[in-house]
């Protein structure tokens, strides 16, 4: 007897994902009938779709629940992450259009790939099964590879895409191998069933080995050391707004994946994986900060700083428990917002033939544009973790989570490298305010709408620094019960 098909009402928790994927397919068809001068229609519709789906989730459309025989779980944690992912993706799209359009790189598939990548991220954070995690991850990864290679005439972009594909495939292989070992030990692909098996029996070698391989795969996707080797080259070679997208929203999806795999699935082994996360956190803090200090290329510096920020995020996960994951989620959301603003600096400053990706390109910026220099100051101060900016409260939250988890040594390491990391961010500030302006620097020609988007993005880091408590409470509610 064939199993009955689920009724349409049973799939309502999946409605936001279905709307987003349906819109992506629709835009793929619409773009076939648009010429270059009307491509903005595709872009505007894509941004509208991201905003509309975020509003659907915020309004509770479809409701929470479990569908597809437990493979898809929509709960508060998933909703919080999805709203943040959609908001960050929409903001990245606002930066993306003027940059690619000016260089003749914008193609209709860009918006479609971003929508499909966002749908993959949404599946990752709602996964109730190892299969759903892998499906969402590969949907995100394949779209990201194509986006990095969108500039087909650039040898650097093509090389970066190949490196991203090869090393990303290696990471997926590590993760898949770990999942296969966990499946062999638990006899199930469902995360709740895996948690039951882990709770009922003493840890065996097969299960522990599987968890270690899964952690390596997750660290690879995050860009945590020593699995970070793909990140600097990919960030440098991809067009800046593409780097902006893959360097922000996917970090939220990776956090959701880590939460599902380790807290929901392998929570009974937290004494093992918490220590491993702490070790990766220390390695990321050390390698990321020390390497970033010697970079002259701003995109490469931000790539290594991403490694260090992954270390802080892992510090929250290592703290364990609901408070640890709430702090890590708060850090992930804060960092995603900061990353969009950081790469937004380059987008706003650049023009055709001038990428504004060197630290020296910002010499004397205050003399040329005091307002823009002030916005860049807000971004760099937040990334450095200076009060009262949002980055300060994010770092404080994960340091407190490490202390609450009994890892004072890890918190001390975090404090030391927070001070070290402030050096290279403040170097940008010194370059803007105290170095003589370069007479050969091209004028800043970015459009007023783009400057407005960047202004809102940068000032949000200051405003949320004074109003961070509601965001933190939102993250804490995601892990209640």
> pLDDT grade, residue 2 (50/70/90)?
very low
Instruction: Tell me what the pLDDT averaged over the chain comes to.
Output: 92
d(CA 326, CA 334): 12
The residue with tokens 């995050």 is 222
pLDDT value at residue 447: 82
104-113, 367-376, 395-404, 438-447: least confidently modelled range: 438-447
Percent of the chain with pLDDT over 70: 97
Residue 256: pLDDT over 50: yes
User: Region 464-470: what's the mean pLDDT?
Assistant: 94
Question: What is the number of H-type helices and E-type strands within the chain?
Answer: 20, 2
Instruction: Return the sign of the alpha-carbon dihedral for residues 401, 406, 410, 411.
Output: positive
Q: What is the pTM of this model?
A: 0.96
275 CA to centre of own chain? 23
CA distances from 264 to 86, 197, 201, 257, 314 (A): 23, 12, 16, 10, 17
412-434 burial, b if ≥16 CB within 10 A, otherwise e?
Answer: ebbeebbebbbebbebbbebbbe
Q: Give the CA count within 13 Å in the CB-facing half-sphere of 243.
A: 31
Whether 345 has a pLDDT exceeding 90, the answer reads: yes
User: Which alpha helices (H) appear in 362-468, and where do they start and end?
Assistant: 365-368, 370-384, 390-404, 408-434, 448-466
Q: What is the pLDDT of residues 417-441, one digit of tens each?
A: 999 999 999 999 999 999 887 666 6
How far apart are the C-alpha atoms of 176 and 131, rounded to whole Å? 10
Of 113-117, 210-214, 320-324, 336-340, which gets the smallest average pLDDT?
A: 320-324
Please write the tens of the pLDDT for every residue from 139-191.
999 999 999 999 888 889 999 999 999 999 999 999 999 999 999 999 999 99
pLDDT at 8 over 70: no
pLDDT value of position 7: 58
Per-residue pLDDT at 470: 94
SS3 sequence of 275-300: HHHHHHHHHHHHHHHHHHCCCCEHHH
Q: Which range is least confidently modeled, 69-83, 242-256, 439-453?
A: 439-453
Residue appearing with tokens 């296969």:
180
* Residue appearing with tokens 């100051």: 377
State the residue for tokens 């970070």.
228
Nearest to 299 by CA among 353, 365, 231, 251: 231
Share of the chain above pLDDT 90, in %: 80
pLDDT band for position 446 (50/70/90)? confident
Confidence bin at 448 (pLDDT 50/70/90): confident
Asked if residue 56 lies in contact with residue 158, where contact means CB atoms within 8 angstroms, the answer is: no
**pLDDT tier, 104 (very low <50, low <70, confident <90, very high otherwise):** confident
Judged against a pLDDT cut of 90, whether residue 39 lies above it is answered with no
Please determine, for residue 4, whether its predicted confidence score (pLDDT) is greater than 60. Answer: no
Tell me the three state secondary structure of residue 138.
helix
pLDDT at 439: 67
Q: What is the DSSP string of 8-45?
A: GGGGGGGHHHHHHHHHHHHHHHHGGG--GGGTHHHHHH
The answer to whether the bond into 28 is cis (omega within 30° of 0) is no
Q: What is the pLDDT of residues 62-81, one digit of tens each?
A: 999 999 999 999 999 999 99
| 356 neighbors 350 (Cβ within 8 angstroms) | yes
pLDDT in tens, 266-306: 999 999 999 999 999 999 999 999 999 999 999 999 999 99
- What pLDDT sits at residue 264? 94
Structure tokens at 275: 């220590």
In this prediction, residue 200 has a pLDDT band, given cuts at 50, 70 and 90, of confident
Residue 185: partners with Cβ closer than 8 Å, 6 or more residues away: 197, 204, 206, 207, 210
Whether the per-residue pLDDT at 370 is higher than 60: the answer is yes
Which carries the bigger pLDDT value, residue 291 or residue 204?
Answer: 291
Which pLDDT score is estimated for 201?
80
Kindly indicate the confidence band of residue 20, based on its pLDDT and cuts at 50, 70 and 90.
very high
Q: Lowest-pLDDT range, 8-12, 124-128, 234-238, 428-432?
A: 8-12
pLDDT band for position 9 (50/70/90)?
low
Q: What's the confidence (pLDDT) of residue 98?
A: 87
Per-residue pLDDT at 478:
92
Total count of residues recorded for the chain: 481
Q: Distance (Å, rounded) from C-alpha 421 to C-alpha 132?
A: 37
Say what the pLDDT of residue 105 is: 81
> Which residues does 325 contact at the CB level (< 8 Å), separation at least 6?
259, 263, 316, 317, 479
What was the pLDDT predicted at 49? 97
Q: Could you tell me the CA-to-CA distances from 375 to 238, 366, 395 in Å, in that order? A: 24, 10, 21
> Nearest Cα to 342, choosing from 385, 375, 388?
375
SS3 state at 60: coil
Tell me which DSSP letter residue 227 carries.
S
């Amino acid at each position: 007897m064939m199993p009955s098909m689920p009724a349409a009402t049973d799939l309502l928790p999946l409605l936001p994902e279905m709307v987003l994927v349906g819109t992506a397919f629709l835009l793929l068809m619409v773009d076939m009938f648009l010429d270059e001068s009307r491509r903005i229609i595709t872009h505007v519709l894509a941004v509208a779709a991201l905003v509309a789906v975020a509003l659907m989730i915020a309004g509770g459309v479809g409701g929470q629940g479990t569908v597809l025989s437990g493979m898809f779980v929509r709960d508060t944690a998933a909703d919080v992450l999805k709203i943040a992912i959609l908001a960050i993706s929409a903001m990245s799209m606002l930066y993306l259009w003027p940059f690619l359009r000016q260089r003749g790189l914008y193609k209709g598939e860009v918006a479609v790939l971003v929508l499909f990548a966002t749908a993959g991220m949404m599946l990752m954070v709602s996964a109730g099964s190892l299969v759903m995690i892998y499906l969402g991850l590969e949907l995100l990864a394949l779209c990201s590879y194509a986006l990095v290679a969108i500039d087909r005439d650039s040898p650097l972009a093509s090389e970066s895409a190949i490196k991203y594909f090869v090393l990303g495939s290696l990471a997926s292989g590590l993760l898949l191998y770990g999942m296969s070992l966990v499946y062999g030990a638990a006899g199930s692909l469902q995360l709740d069933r895996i948690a039951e098996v882990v709770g009922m029996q003493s840890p065996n070698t097969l299960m522990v080995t599987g968890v270690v391989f899964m952690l390596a795969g997750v660290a690879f996707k995050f860009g945590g050391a020593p699995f970070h080797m793909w990140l600097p080259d990919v960030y440098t070679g991809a067009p800046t707004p593409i780097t902006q997208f893959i360097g922000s929203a996917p970090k939220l999806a990776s956090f959701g994946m880590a939460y599902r795999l380790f807290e929901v699935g392998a929570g009974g082994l937290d004494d093992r994986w918490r220590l491993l996360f702490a070790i990766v956190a220390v390695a990321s803090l050390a390698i990321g900060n020390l390497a970033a200090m010697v970079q002259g290329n701003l995109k490469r510096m931000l790539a290594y700083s991403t490694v260090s920020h992954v270390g802080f995020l892992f510090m929250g996960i290592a703290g364990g428990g609901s408070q640890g994951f709430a702090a890590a989620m708060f850090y992930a959301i804060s960092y995603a917002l900061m990353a969009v603003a950081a790469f937004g600096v380059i987008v706003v400053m650049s023009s055709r033939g001038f990428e504004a990706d060197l630290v020296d390109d910002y010499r004397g910026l205050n003399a040329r544009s005091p307002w823009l220099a002030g916005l860049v100051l807000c971004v760099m101060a937040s990334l450095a973790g200076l009060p009262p900016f949002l980055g300060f409260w994010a770092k404080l939250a994960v340091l407190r989570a490490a202390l609450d988890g009994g890892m004072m040594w890890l918190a001390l390491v975090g404090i030391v490298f927070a001070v070290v990391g402030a050096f290279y961010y403040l170097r940008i500030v010194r370059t803007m305010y105290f170095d003589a302006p370069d007479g050969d620097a091209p004028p800043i020609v970015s459009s007023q709408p783009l400057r407005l988007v960047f202004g809102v993005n940068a000032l949000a880091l200051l405003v949320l620094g004074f109003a961070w408590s509601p965001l933190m409470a939102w993250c804490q509610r995601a892990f209640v019960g």
